[in-house]
Amino acid sequence: MRVLQRRLADFAAARRWQPYHTPKNLVAALSVEAAELVEIFQWLTPEESARVMERPGTAERVEDEVADVLAYLLQFCDALGIDAAAALAAKIERNEKRFPVPDGGANADEGAPDSPNRHSPE
């Protein structure tokens, strides 16, 4: 990831965009790009959304928006000195403690998608 962050920083520097790459602007751009990704899936059924990568034109749009989201997230992290991989690893560890595997393993009803005990990784 550091190589990608360096490439993004060099790209911005070559165009003198650094004054605009503030954390506020980068997180706003990240939000816009995430919304563009959501827009692709907005009116699809769950089944259609699972097959979205089977359609070349749509697959390319999804990949482009994923790249835009990741680019802005990496630039945001770089601007604030956040190690994205370390932050994610720490968050996974906290969630593993916060949401232990229920008795009976991963197939237990408690973790089922329609279960009232299902939680987001917030």
| CB-CB contact of 1 with 84 (8 Å) | yes
CB atoms within 10 A of CB 114: 6
For 13-55, what is each residue's pLDDT tens digit?
Answer: 999 999 999 999 999 999 999 999 999 999 999 999 999 999 9
The predicted model gives 77-105 an average pLDDT of 95
pLDDT tens column, 69-78: 999 999 999 9
| pLDDT for residue 13 | 97
What pTM did the predictor assign? 0.82
Tokens of 99: 């949401």
Q: What backbone phi and psi angles, to 5 degrees, belong to 117? A: -95, 5
